[in-house]
Each structure stands twice: as structure tokens, then as C-alpha cells.
Amino acid sequence: MLMSIELILNSVNLNFIAFNKYVWPNRLDGVFFSIFIIAIAAAEAAVAIAIIINLYRSHQSIDVDQTEEMKY
């Protein structure tokens, strides 16, 4: 689910920052990549939660298996 995506993005951020600190201490590129990843992850989480809440409102469930009316 959403939480796993957040964890994965966080681990990538951590890698960027660590390599930036220990391999290229004279540049700041890793920091910028992390900042942009954080911003995009925030936007993505907000949109996903809006979709989930809307889905729950119309189907009374957030189980993806039950939302099948547009499947056929």
C-alpha cells in the first residue's frame, strides 16, 4: 500500500544523502534530489488519499477487488 511506497522513497533518499556526504562532499546534488523526491512523494500521497476517500464514499470499501464495475 501507500506506506510501503513511502518507505521505499525514504530509503532512496537516505542513499542519496549518504553518498552525497561521503563521496561528493563538495557538491549538493544529492540533497536536491532528496528535496524533490520528498516534494513529489507528498503530492502523490495527497492525491492517493483523496482517491481512496472518494472510493470509500462511493463503494463503502477500499478493497480494490470489490471495485470491479468498470472491469468488463
Partner 1 sequence: MSGSIIVFYLLALLTLVSAVFAVTSRQIFRSAIYLLFSLIGIAGIYFWMQYDFIAVVQIIVYVGGITVLIIFSIFLTQQAGELLPKQKMGRQVFAAMAVFCSFALVMLQVFKNKFIPATGEVVQPNISAIGEKMLATTEGGYALPFELVSILLLAALIGCIVIAMRSASFLTETDKK
Instruction: List the grid coordinates of 33.
Output: 534530489
Would you count residue 66 as binding partner 1 (CB under 8 A)?
Answer: no
C-beta closer to partner 1: residue 29 or 67: 29
* In the complex, minimum distance from the CB of residue 40 to partner 1, in angstroms, rounded to a whole number: 7
Q: Which residue has the cell 561521503?
A: 22
Work out which of 23, 66, 67, 69 binds partner 1, going by CB under 8 A.
23
Would you count residue 12 as binding partner 1 (CB under 8 A)?
Answer: no
User: What distances in angstroms separate CA 23 from CA 6, 17, 29, 34, 54, one per listed residue?
Assistant: 26, 10, 12, 16, 45
